[in-house]
Structures are given as C-alpha cells and as structure tokens.
Amino acid sequence: MTFEIKNICCIGAGYVGGPTMSVIADKCPNININVVDKSPERIALWNSSNLELLPIYEPGLDKIIARCRDKNLTFSTKIKEKISAADMIFISVNTPTKTKGIGAGQASDLKWVEACAREVALSAKGHTIVVEKSTLPVKTAEVIKTILEASQPNSNELKKTFDVLSNPEFLAEGSAISDLESPDRVLIGGESNDAIIALSNIYRNWVPTEKILHTNIWSSELSKLTANAFLAQRISSINSISALCESTGADIREVARAIGLDSRIGSKFLNCGPGFGGSCFKKDILNLVYLSRYYNLNEVADFWESVVKLNNWHQHRLSELIIQNLFKTVCGKKICILGFAFKANTNDTRETAAIKICKDLLEEGAFLCINDPKVSKEQIHNDLGLESLKSLTNYSKRDDFFNFEGQWIFEDSIYKAIENSDAVVILTEWDEYKKINWSKVAKIMRKPSWIFDARSILESKEIISHGLLFWRIGDGSLNV
C-alpha cells in the first residue's frame, strides 16, 4: 500500500526543523507543510515581514521563506491542530545532554522527544507516519513506538495506527540550504516498507534515487552519531598536529595539503581552528561514550571521550598562549575578539570555542571588546553569563583598562573594536575579517600589538610588514 502524503507537521522550529521544512516546501509545492513550536516568540520571528529577523541565519533561507511562506509553508503554535491534520509528523526538537541523574554529562535528555510522542499519540488521527529528525541515541524509536501503541482510544473512535522512521539530518551550519538541496545522501531507517517508500517519494522530488539509502531503524540512528563522531575526531586530530607544528617549525597548512592529497584521507575537515563547536559534535560523542559504557565497551568509550578531552585542552591552550604572549598577564588590557559564532555563515553559538576562550580571558582580568556580524549582544550575554557594558566614556583614548577588569562590551564596528587594544583574536572565519586594513590597524592599536589568528585566514607577511606581532595557529615557521 502506498501512502499519499498531503500534509506534513514538523514539531520544532529550530536549526533543523525550520530550514528542512522550508526546503521540502520549496521542492514539493503540492504538500502542505506546517512547522509548529511552543515558543510564540520564535514563531513570530519566522512570520516576520522583515526576513532579516528570521531566528536562524543560513545563506539562501530568506529567499525560500519569501517564496513559500503562507503558500504551502506555515509557522504556528497550533500544535494539536496541525498534528491532527498531518499524514506525516517530523519530530525535530532539542535533545540536550542530561545535566543530572543517570548518565548526566553524557546521555541525551529525551524529555522533549517523549513529550512530542505523547502529544502525537493524543492528537493524531487515523494512520500517521512519525519521523525522527532530531539526533537521537540508538533505540529511541522503541520508546516512541511504545508510547504511540499505548494511545488507542477507549471509545468507538477510529483506531490510530503509526509507523516510526528514522531520518537523521546531515547538515553543516552555514551551508544547510545547499546541504538540503544537494545532499550527499538521505538516510531512512524503518521497519515498514510502505512508510519508507512514502518518505522516499517526497525526497525523490529533487534527490536522485541512488542517494536515498534504506536501512533498519537502529542502523539509521547510530549512523548519525557515528558521522558526527568521525568528523569531530578529524578536527581534534588536525588540531593536535597543529600544536606539534608550532613546536617543531612545521606549518599545519603544508602538512594538511600533503596528507589531504592522499585519496584514502581526502582534504575535507583538515582546517585547524579553535576547536569544534555547534549543537551536535560534543553532544553526540558524549552520547556515544555513554552507550559504549552501557554495553560494557569501556575501551571504545575511552577512545571517543579522548576526542572531547583534546578539544577542551586545545581551547584552553589558545587562551594560555594569548596570555603568555601578552607578558603573562591580560589584566587591565583590552583584547578585541573578532567572531563569536562557532563557524562562519551562522549565528549559532552553541558550544562555540569563543565561550571558553572569552571566559578564560575575562577570569584573568582582560577587558574584551567583541564583534560578530550575526551574533547579537544579547546572545553573547546569555553565553558568557555576564552583562555587557552599556557604554564606555572615552574608552578609545585610555592608556589602560584596569577599571574594566573582567568586563566586556559589544562593538558593531570592527575598527572601533580594535582601537587601542593590545591584541586582536580571530575566532570565526568571517569574510570581513579577511579584508581588514592592517595598515590602519597598526596605527590604532596600543604597542606592542598582537594579532592572533586562530582560524588561519591571514597571511603573515602582510601583518608583520606593518609592525604587528603575529601568531597563526599551527604555523611553527613564525617561531623560527
């Protein structure tokens, strides 16, 4: 039997649900897509006439929203209503790491997934295909199925039936729209062949059939965790070698180019930086660690846990390096932080390396002036847990900043942020930071002036030619 999908409801209007449903709506104009969320504030932003206010920044997303919204794509808080009208429901809610109880610090907290399953069980009508879109630990589908199967009405109402599928996302923030429009693969795991075909038929509107993979549901769930773990491990690997390069006189960019030409290794994810961030990598690895220990695979757990430990060490290493080069103290010094998002082309700051590095510097008494083209002052305040200074009278003319130890301010202007600073630290690879006028910078910084390039986006000759002291991650040749 072939299920015809006319109405889709996605529970969760976040980083996955919003963009994913927008692209499906764009590619499938014959399907009505309803994205629901319990947050009125978030839904209001999705419905804003000013597309610059969308809650998520992804290149190209605003154009899709303009084409589809209020045609076959809606955003609302009418959760029960949209669930009851849906033939297919995507669960795309947050699955944070548990902070207390069994598995705290490693296992995923599935309270929102369970809440969604109970809402679907209560409000769905007839037969409904339920799709796991959130990143979930192996065997979560079993929990969802149990809740759904226990939902049968006691009266003479029409019996409810459900199929549960796993359809993990493989999106890179900053390129989510292109990843959705031209995916490497679409993975669908499940037990019902009819349900798998129904979801496959939606993707076939724009994805070649050979890129749509079918597996059992457990393999699908584990594949997502494994993909993120492998990518994070690659980042930790290249960052570990960057530290070795700095000590030996090697250049990580030359090493990366050499090993990347090996077809067995490839060139992707060989750019060193301040450590991996985002919503998934750390969370998914820790989930893998928890699962491994649960099944008494302690050596496996130790291996994957070491990836997270190295990432944490690497971020603190950068903080210590900045402090050491600034005469072993940053107290009373202004440090300009360029970039707070965990990567370019996104406003996401979850697990960004900037949080740890900024907190380290603030704890040492630095005064930070932070600039990011897409991250708001309010978001930085939430992440750092410290209120920003509202203003600073004549701060650009000061010789020192001892009155502002351990405080920070947000600055829209790159050059105003740099002015009178002792150091500039690049933590996000935004294009505008590659175009900075370093001749101008040399004239407005306090001497001696340090530039710390934690993203390896600047050229040493240009920086040094203007009398600036320069450090670039993984570049040992600068120490020779």
Active site residues: 169, 224, 280
What angle, rounded to 10 degrees, do the helices at 353-363 and 298-325 form? 50
Edge-to-edge strand ranges of the sheet holding 73-76: 73-76, 32-36, 7-11, 88-91, 127-132, 161-166, 186-190, 212-215
CA 370 to chain centre: 20
Judge if the upstream peptide bond of residue 19 is cis by omega within 30 degrees of 0: no
Give the bridge partners for 166, in sequence order.
Answer: 132, 189
Q: What is the DSSP letter of 397?
A: G
Distance between CA atoms of residues 469 and 442, nearest Å:
10
* DSSP-assigned beta bridge partners for residue 475: 251
DSSP-derived pairing of the beta strands 161-166 and 186-190: antiparallel
Q: Give Cα separations from 162 to 9, 130, 176, 429 (angstroms).
A: 15, 7, 30, 45
Tokens 């319990």 appear where? 38
CB 68 within 8 A of CB 22: yes
Contact 338, 424 (CB under 8 A): yes
Q: How many residues does the chain have?
A: 480
Instruction: Point out which residues pair with 251 in neighbouring strands.
Output: 475
The Cα-based distances of 103 to 100, 108, 218, 278, 281 in angstroms read 8, 8, 21, 21, 17
CA terminus-to-terminus distance, the chain: 70
Write the CA distances from 303 to 94, 221, 262, 299, 306, integer angstroms: 26, 20, 25, 6, 5
If 0-12 CB within 10 Å is exposed, 13-18 middle and 19+ buried, where does residue 204 land? middle
Q: Using the CB atoms, write b or e for 299-337: b if 16+ within 10 Å.
A: eebeebbebbebbeebbebbbebbbebbeeebebbbbbb
Alpha helices in 249-280 (DSSP H): 252-260
